[in-house]
């Protein structure tokens, strides 16, 4: 159950960050943009690495990041 909780939190971060790239109607809104930017910072920074280790998930965080940015045709920022 603990692993499911961690996986859900990480998946949610990817979904929230995807709002920056999929909401193409020109209006994201301040609240949603703030949420999406925090999720993107989580993915780009060490938050993703810490979460994967904390929840004991066997995922390659660099591969997750690269896949996310490849899907949205965005260059990963180092």
Q: Which pLDDT does position 15 carry in this prediction?
A: 92
Q: How confident is the model at residue 31 (pLDDT cuts 50, 70, 90)?
A: confident
Listed as own residue / partner, the contacts of 54-62 with beta carbons closer than 8 Å and 24 or more positions apart are: 54/6, 55/2, 55/3, 55/5, 55/6, 55/7, 55/9, 55/10, 56/2, 56/3, 56/6, 57/3, 57/6, 57/7, 57/10
| pTM for the structure as a whole | 0.81
Q: Which pLDDT does position 43 carry in this prediction?
A: 94
Average pLDDT value for the chain: 86
Convert the pLDDT of each residue in 34-63 to its tens digit: 999 999 999 999 999 999 999 999 999 999
Domain edges within the chain: 2-71
């Amino acid at each position: 159950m603990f692993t499911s909780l961690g996986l859900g939190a990480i998946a949610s971060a990817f979904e929230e960050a995807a709002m920056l790239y999929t909401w193409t109607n020109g209006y994201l809104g301040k609240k949603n943009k703030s949420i999406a930017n925090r999720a993107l910072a989580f993915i780009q920074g060490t938050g993703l690495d810490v979460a994967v280790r904390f929840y004991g998930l066997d995922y390659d965080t660099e591969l997750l990041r690269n896949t996310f940015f490849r899907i949205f045709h965005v260059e990963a920022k180092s």
